Structure 1
Protein backbone atom coordinates (compact mmCIF):
# COMPACT_ATOMS: atom_id res chain seq x y z
CA UNK A 1 0.00 0.00 0.00
CA UNK A 2 2.73 2.48 0.94
CA UNK A 3 4.71 1.76 -2.22
CA UNK A 4 1.57 2.12 -4.34
CA UNK A 5 0.69 5.38 -2.59
CA UNK A 6 4.20 6.71 -3.19
CA UNK A 7 4.14 5.72 -6.86
CA UNK A 8 0.73 7.38 -7.22
CA UNK A 9 2.01 10.60 -5.66
CA UNK A 10 5.10 10.61 -7.87
CA UNK A 11 3.08 10.15 -11.05
CA UNK A 12 0.99 13.22 -10.17
CA UNK A 13 3.76 15.72 -9.39
CA UNK A 14 6.80 16.24 -7.21
CA UNK A 15 4.87 18.78 -5.12
CA UNK A 16 2.03 16.37 -4.43
CA UNK A 17 4.38 13.90 -2.73
CA UNK A 18 4.74 16.13 0.33
CA UNK A 19 0.98 16.69 0.65
CA UNK A 20 0.08 13.06 0.13
CA UNK A 21 2.79 11.86 2.52
CA UNK A 22 1.49 14.20 5.23
CA UNK A 23 -2.14 13.20 4.71
CA UNK A 24 -1.34 9.51 4.68
CA UNK A 25 0.79 9.60 7.82
CA UNK A 26 -1.67 11.77 9.74
CA UNK A 27 -4.75 9.76 8.87
CA UNK A 28 -3.14 6.34 9.34
CA UNK A 29 -2.14 7.47 12.84
CA UNK A 30 -5.69 8.75 13.43
CA UNK A 31 -7.05 5.38 12.29
CA UNK A 32 -4.59 3.61 14.58
CA UNK A 33 -5.87 5.71 17.47
CA UNK A 34 -9.44 4.75 16.62
CA UNK A 35 -8.42 1.10 16.57
CA UNK A 36 -6.64 1.41 19.91
CA UNK A 37 -9.74 3.08 21.37
CA UNK A 38 -11.88 0.19 20.15
CA UNK A 39 -14.02 2.33 17.84
CA UNK A 40 -15.99 0.03 15.57
CA UNK A 41 -15.48 0.48 11.85
CA UNK A 42 -17.38 -1.64 9.37
CA UNK A 43 -15.77 -3.22 6.33
CA UNK A 44 -12.14 -2.53 7.31
CA UNK A 45 -10.84 -5.58 5.46
CA UNK A 46 -12.87 -4.65 2.38
CA UNK A 47 -11.38 -1.13 2.51
CA UNK A 48 -7.87 -2.54 2.74
CA UNK A 49 -8.49 -4.90 -0.18
CA UNK A 50 -9.98 -2.07 -2.24
CA UNK A 51 -6.94 0.07 -1.51
CA UNK A 52 -4.69 -2.53 -3.12
CA UNK A 53 -6.95 -2.94 -6.13
CA UNK A 54 -7.68 0.75 -6.71
CA UNK A 55 -4.15 2.05 -6.15
CA UNK A 56 -2.72 -0.78 -8.25
CA UNK A 57 -5.05 0.19 -11.11
CA UNK A 58 -4.43 3.92 -10.66
CA UNK A 59 -0.67 3.43 -11.06
CA UNK A 60 -1.01 0.77 -13.75
CA UNK A 61 -3.13 3.05 -15.93
CA UNK A 62 -1.07 6.15 -15.05
CA UNK A 63 -4.21 7.90 -13.85
CA UNK A 64 -3.94 11.64 -13.36
CA UNK A 65 -6.26 13.25 -10.87
CA UNK A 66 -6.43 16.50 -8.95
CA UNK A 67 -4.16 16.39 -5.91
CA UNK A 68 -7.12 17.08 -3.59
CA UNK A 69 -9.00 14.04 -4.94
CA UNK A 70 -5.88 11.87 -4.67
CA UNK A 71 -5.36 13.03 -1.08
CA UNK A 72 -8.97 12.19 -0.26
CA UNK A 73 -8.64 8.73 -1.75
CA UNK A 74 -5.40 8.05 0.11
CA UNK A 75 -6.92 9.42 3.30
CA UNK A 76 -9.83 6.99 3.16
CA UNK A 77 -7.50 4.06 2.54
CA UNK A 78 -5.08 5.21 5.26
CA UNK A 79 -7.95 5.29 7.76
CA UNK A 80 -8.76 1.64 7.01
CA UNK A 81 -5.11 0.57 7.29
CA UNK A 82 -4.55 2.53 10.47
CA UNK A 83 -7.75 1.23 12.08
CA UNK A 84 -6.72 -2.35 11.36
CA UNK A 85 -3.22 -1.81 12.72
CA UNK A 86 -4.56 -0.10 15.84
CA UNK A 87 -6.60 -3.18 16.76
CA UNK A 88 -3.52 -5.42 16.54
CA UNK A 89 -2.02 -4.31 19.87
CA UNK A 90 -0.88 -7.35 21.86
CA UNK A 91 -2.50 -7.78 25.24
CA UNK A 92 -0.50 -6.53 28.21
CA UNK A 93 1.39 -3.94 26.18
CA UNK A 94 1.14 -0.27 27.09
CA UNK A 95 -0.99 1.62 24.57
CA UNK A 96 1.49 4.51 24.75
CA UNK A 97 4.42 2.23 23.86
CA UNK A 98 2.39 0.62 21.09
CA UNK A 99 1.33 4.03 19.72
CA UNK A 100 4.90 5.33 19.71
CA UNK A 101 6.13 2.21 17.93
CA UNK A 102 3.22 2.42 15.51
CA UNK A 103 3.99 6.05 14.65
CA UNK A 104 7.71 5.31 14.25
CA UNK A 105 6.86 2.32 12.05
CA UNK A 106 4.55 4.39 9.85
CA UNK A 107 7.20 7.05 9.36
CA UNK A 108 9.95 4.52 8.65
CA UNK A 109 7.89 2.37 6.28
CA UNK A 110 6.65 5.42 4.43
CA UNK A 111 10.18 6.79 4.04
CA UNK A 112 11.38 3.42 2.73
CA UNK A 113 8.38 3.11 0.41
CA UNK A 114 8.95 6.58 -0.97
CA UNK A 115 12.68 5.96 -1.46
CA UNK A 116 11.94 2.69 -3.25
CA UNK A 117 9.28 4.38 -5.40
CA UNK A 118 11.73 7.15 -6.35
CA UNK A 119 14.33 4.50 -7.27
CA UNK A 120 11.79 2.67 -9.43
CA UNK A 121 10.68 5.85 -11.16
CA UNK A 122 14.30 6.87 -11.82
CA UNK A 123 15.01 3.72 -13.83
CA UNK A 124 15.52 4.98 -17.33
CA UNK A 125 16.32 1.90 -19.34
CA UNK A 126 13.34 2.31 -21.61
CA UNK A 127 11.35 -0.31 -19.70
CA UNK A 128 11.02 1.19 -16.20
CA UNK A 129 7.61 2.86 -16.55
CA UNK A 130 6.10 -0.08 -18.42
CA UNK A 131 7.48 -2.60 -15.94
CA UNK A 132 6.25 -0.53 -13.00
CA UNK A 133 2.79 -0.13 -14.48
CA UNK A 134 2.61 -3.83 -15.34
CA UNK A 135 3.69 -4.82 -11.83
CA UNK A 136 1.04 -2.54 -10.36
CA UNK A 137 -1.54 -4.15 -12.62
CA UNK A 138 -0.54 -7.54 -11.23
CA UNK A 139 -0.77 -6.08 -7.73
CA UNK A 140 -4.33 -4.96 -8.41
CA UNK A 141 -5.15 -8.40 -9.80
CA UNK A 142 -3.72 -10.07 -6.70
CA UNK A 143 -5.89 -7.71 -4.61
CA UNK A 144 -8.89 -9.18 -6.41
CA UNK A 145 -7.66 -12.65 -5.43
CA UNK A 146 -7.30 -11.58 -1.80
CA UNK A 147 -10.77 -10.06 -1.86
CA UNK A 148 -12.25 -13.22 -3.33
CA UNK A 149 -10.50 -15.35 -0.73
CA UNK A 150 -8.44 -17.16 -3.36
CA UNK A 151 -5.04 -15.82 -2.21
Structure 2
Protein backbone atom coordinates (compact mmCIF):
# COMPACT_ATOMS: atom_id res chain seq x y z
CA UNK A 1 0.00 0.00 0.00
CA UNK A 2 2.83 2.41 0.87
CA UNK A 3 4.51 1.84 -2.52
CA UNK A 4 1.31 2.65 -4.39
CA UNK A 5 0.97 5.87 -2.42
CA UNK A 6 4.60 6.78 -3.10
CA UNK A 7 4.18 6.09 -6.81
CA UNK A 8 1.03 8.22 -6.92
CA UNK A 9 2.72 11.01 -5.01
CA UNK A 10 5.69 10.94 -7.38
CA UNK A 11 3.42 11.04 -10.43
CA UNK A 12 1.37 13.85 -8.96
CA UNK A 13 4.41 15.91 -8.09
CA UNK A 14 5.70 15.58 -11.65
CA UNK A 15 2.45 17.07 -12.88
CA UNK A 16 3.15 20.12 -10.72
CA UNK A 17 6.45 20.81 -12.44
CA UNK A 18 5.54 22.71 -15.62
CA UNK A 19 9.16 23.37 -16.48
CA UNK A 20 9.67 19.67 -17.01
CA UNK A 21 6.46 19.23 -18.97
CA UNK A 22 7.69 20.28 -22.39
CA UNK A 23 11.01 19.32 -23.90
CA UNK A 24 11.92 22.84 -24.87
CA UNK A 25 14.62 23.61 -22.40
CA UNK A 26 17.01 24.66 -25.15
CA UNK A 27 19.34 21.68 -24.85
CA UNK A 28 22.16 22.07 -27.34
CA UNK A 29 22.87 18.36 -27.66
CA UNK A 30 20.46 16.28 -29.69
CA UNK A 31 20.81 13.28 -27.40
CA UNK A 32 19.66 15.39 -24.45
CA UNK A 33 16.52 16.81 -26.02
CA UNK A 34 14.31 13.71 -25.60
CA UNK A 35 15.33 13.57 -21.93
CA UNK A 36 14.51 17.20 -21.22
CA UNK A 37 10.73 16.96 -21.11
CA UNK A 38 8.07 14.79 -19.57
CA UNK A 39 6.12 14.71 -22.84
CA UNK A 40 8.92 13.00 -24.76
CA UNK A 41 9.95 10.69 -21.91
CA UNK A 42 6.43 9.36 -21.41
CA UNK A 43 5.66 8.90 -25.10
CA UNK A 44 8.95 7.25 -26.01
CA UNK A 45 8.97 4.76 -23.15
CA UNK A 46 5.29 4.05 -23.85
CA UNK A 47 6.08 3.16 -27.48
CA UNK A 48 8.43 0.44 -26.27
CA UNK A 49 6.04 -0.82 -23.60
CA UNK A 50 3.08 -0.90 -25.97
CA UNK A 51 5.08 -2.77 -28.62
CA UNK A 52 5.77 -5.53 -26.07
CA UNK A 53 2.09 -5.67 -25.14
CA UNK A 54 1.19 -6.17 -28.80
CA UNK A 55 3.95 -8.75 -29.20
CA UNK A 56 5.40 -10.48 -32.22
CA UNK A 57 6.93 -8.30 -34.91
CA UNK A 58 5.43 -5.20 -33.27
CA UNK A 59 8.30 -5.26 -30.76
CA UNK A 60 10.57 -4.01 -33.57
CA UNK A 61 8.18 -2.53 -36.12
CA UNK A 62 6.29 -0.14 -33.84
CA UNK A 63 9.36 1.57 -32.33
CA UNK A 64 11.07 1.41 -35.73
CA UNK A 65 8.20 3.29 -37.35
CA UNK A 66 8.39 5.94 -34.64
CA UNK A 67 12.13 6.47 -35.10
CA UNK A 68 11.98 6.54 -38.92
CA UNK A 69 9.17 9.06 -39.03
CA UNK A 70 10.75 11.02 -36.22
CA UNK A 71 13.68 11.53 -38.57
CA UNK A 72 11.26 12.87 -41.21
CA UNK A 73 9.67 15.20 -38.64
CA UNK A 74 13.13 16.38 -37.61
CA UNK A 75 13.96 17.31 -41.21
CA UNK A 76 10.69 19.25 -41.49
CA UNK A 77 11.54 20.99 -38.22
CA UNK A 78 15.08 21.87 -39.37
CA UNK A 79 13.59 23.64 -42.37
CA UNK A 80 11.10 25.47 -40.13
CA UNK A 81 8.21 24.35 -42.30
CA UNK A 82 5.08 25.05 -40.28
CA UNK A 83 3.49 21.96 -38.74
CA UNK A 84 0.31 23.10 -37.02
CA UNK A 85 -0.62 21.87 -33.56
CA UNK A 86 2.75 20.29 -32.89
CA UNK A 87 2.48 20.65 -29.11
CA UNK A 88 -1.03 19.21 -29.15
CA UNK A 89 0.16 16.31 -31.33
CA UNK A 90 3.01 15.55 -28.94
CA UNK A 91 0.68 15.72 -25.93
CA UNK A 92 -1.98 13.59 -27.63
CA UNK A 93 0.63 10.94 -28.32
CA UNK A 94 1.15 10.67 -24.56
CA UNK A 95 -2.61 10.34 -24.00
CA UNK A 96 -3.21 7.78 -26.73
CA UNK A 97 -0.17 5.64 -26.02
CA UNK A 98 -1.02 5.65 -22.32
CA UNK A 99 -4.59 4.60 -23.10
CA UNK A 100 -3.38 1.88 -25.45
CA UNK A 101 -1.28 0.42 -22.63
CA UNK A 102 -3.98 0.88 -19.98
CA UNK A 103 -6.62 -0.80 -22.15
CA UNK A 104 -4.15 -3.40 -23.49
CA UNK A 105 -5.00 -2.53 -27.08
CA UNK A 106 -3.47 -5.07 -29.43
CA UNK A 107 -4.06 -3.31 -32.70
CA UNK A 108 -3.04 -4.82 -36.04
CA UNK A 109 0.64 -4.23 -36.76
CA UNK A 110 0.08 -1.76 -39.61
CA UNK A 111 -2.35 0.34 -37.56
CA UNK A 112 -0.07 0.41 -34.50
CA UNK A 113 3.01 1.24 -36.61
CA UNK A 114 1.05 3.91 -38.50
CA UNK A 115 -0.11 5.55 -35.29
CA UNK A 116 3.38 5.63 -33.82
CA UNK A 117 4.76 6.93 -37.13
CA UNK A 118 2.37 9.88 -36.88
CA UNK A 119 3.44 10.50 -33.29
CA UNK A 120 7.07 10.28 -34.38
CA UNK A 121 6.57 13.08 -36.90
CA UNK A 122 5.35 15.44 -34.16
CA UNK A 123 8.15 14.52 -31.76
CA UNK A 124 10.80 14.77 -34.48
CA UNK A 125 9.46 18.14 -35.58
CA UNK A 126 9.79 19.46 -32.02
CA UNK A 127 13.38 18.22 -31.87
CA UNK A 128 14.36 19.57 -35.29
CA UNK A 129 12.61 22.92 -34.93
CA UNK A 130 14.42 23.64 -31.69
CA UNK A 131 17.87 22.67 -32.84
CA UNK A 132 20.34 25.44 -31.98
CA UNK A 133 21.50 27.26 -35.12
CA UNK A 134 25.15 26.49 -34.57
CA UNK A 135 24.58 22.76 -34.01
CA UNK A 136 25.71 20.17 -36.56
CA UNK A 137 22.47 18.71 -37.97
CA UNK A 138 23.87 15.22 -38.49
CA UNK A 139 25.27 14.93 -34.96
CA UNK A 140 22.17 16.50 -33.42
CA UNK A 141 19.85 14.15 -35.35
CA UNK A 142 21.92 11.07 -34.53
CA UNK A 143 21.76 12.10 -30.89
CA UNK A 144 18.01 12.48 -30.61
CA UNK A 145 17.38 9.32 -32.63
CA UNK A 146 19.76 7.27 -30.46
CA UNK A 147 18.21 8.56 -27.24
CA UNK A 148 14.73 7.87 -28.58
CA UNK A 149 15.63 4.29 -29.49
CA UNK A 150 17.14 3.85 -26.04
CA UNK A 151 13.95 5.11 -24.37
CA UNK A 152 11.94 2.69 -26.51
CA UNK A 153 14.21 -0.08 -25.30
CA UNK A 154 13.79 0.97 -21.66
CA UNK A 155 10.00 0.87 -22.05
CA UNK A 156 10.13 -2.49 -23.81
CA UNK A 157 12.40 -4.09 -21.23
CA UNK A 158 10.31 -2.70 -18.38
CA UNK A 159 7.09 -4.02 -19.92
CA UNK A 160 8.69 -7.39 -20.66
CA UNK A 161 9.71 -7.91 -17.04
CA UNK A 162 6.45 -6.52 -15.64
CA UNK A 163 4.51 -9.04 -17.67
CA UNK A 164 6.52 -11.85 -16.07
CA UNK A 165 5.78 -11.00 -12.43
CA UNK A 166 2.64 -11.45 -10.39
CA UNK A 167 0.36 -8.41 -10.83
CA UNK A 168 2.90 -6.96 -13.23
CA UNK A 169 0.38 -6.61 -16.05
CA UNK A 170 -1.85 -4.60 -13.74
CA UNK A 171 1.07 -2.34 -12.84
CA UNK A 172 1.88 -1.86 -16.50
CA UNK A 173 -1.72 -0.96 -17.26
CA UNK A 174 -1.83 1.38 -14.27
CA UNK A 175 1.32 3.13 -15.51
CA UNK A 176 -0.38 3.54 -18.90
CA UNK A 177 -3.39 5.15 -17.22
CA UNK A 178 -1.11 7.48 -15.23
CA UNK A 179 0.69 8.42 -18.43
CA UNK A 180 -2.62 9.14 -20.16
CA UNK A 181 -3.63 11.42 -17.29
CA UNK A 182 -0.32 13.28 -17.54
CA UNK A 183 -0.96 13.54 -21.27
CA UNK A 184 -4.37 15.11 -20.63
CA UNK A 185 -2.69 17.68 -18.43
CA UNK A 186 -0.20 18.35 -21.23
CA UNK A 187 -3.03 18.74 -23.80
CA UNK A 188 -4.82 21.25 -21.56
CA UNK A 189 -1.63 23.27 -21.24
CA UNK A 190 -0.94 23.07 -24.99
CA UNK A 191 -4.24 24.61 -26.10
TM over 0.5: yes
Match of 1:135 in 2: 175
Residue 2 of structure 1 and its aligned partner are, at CA, apart by: 1.5
Of the candidates 120, 134, 149, which is equivalent to residue 162 of structure 2? 120
Of the candidates 72, 85, 108, which is equivalent to residue 66 of structure 1? 108
RMSD: 1.8
Describe the SS at the equivalent of 2:148. helix
Name the CA shift for 1:25/1:62 in 2 (closer, same or farther; >3 Å): same
Q: Once structures 1 and 2 are overlaid, which stretch shifts more, 108-117 or 69-78?
A: 108-117
CA offsets 1:1-48 (integer angstroms, 9 cap, x no match):
122111211111232111112211111111111111212100000101
Question: Could you tell me how far apart the structure 2 residues matched to 1:113 and 1:81 are?
Answer: 17
- Once the two structures are superposed, the pairs formed by residues 48-63 of structure 1 within 5 Å of their partners are 48-63=90-105
Question: Could you tell me how far apart the structure 1 residues matched to 2:122 and 2:102 are?
Answer: 22
Q: Name the TM-score, length of structure 1 as normaliser.
A: 0.88
CA offsets 1:73-120 (integer angstroms, 9 cap, x no match):
111111100111111212322223322323333333333333333233
Higher relative contact order, chain-length normalized (CA < 8 Å, sep 6+): 1
Pairing 1:149–2:174 present: no
Structure 2, unmatched stretches of 5+, are 1-42
Structure 1, unmatched stretches of 5+, are none
Pairing 1:31–2:42 present: no
Q: Once structures 1 and 2 are overlaid, which stretch shifts more, 19-28 or 98-107?
A: 98-107
Match of 2:36 in 1: none
CA offsets 1:42-76 (integer angstroms, 9 cap, x no match):
00001011101111111101112111111111111
Describe the SS at the equivalent of 1:149. helix
Q: Name the TM-score, length of structure 2 as normaliser.
A: 0.71
- Once the two structures are superposed, the pairs formed by residues 80-119 of structure 1 within 5 Å of their partners are 80-119=122-161
Contact 2:49-2:158 at 8 Å conserved across structures: no
Question: Could you tell me how far apart the structure 2 residues matched to 1:27 and 1:84 are?
Answer: 13
Contact 1:3-1:117 at 8 Å conserved across structures: no
Question: Could you tell me how far apart the structure 1 residues matched to 2:89 and 2:178 are?
Answer: 19
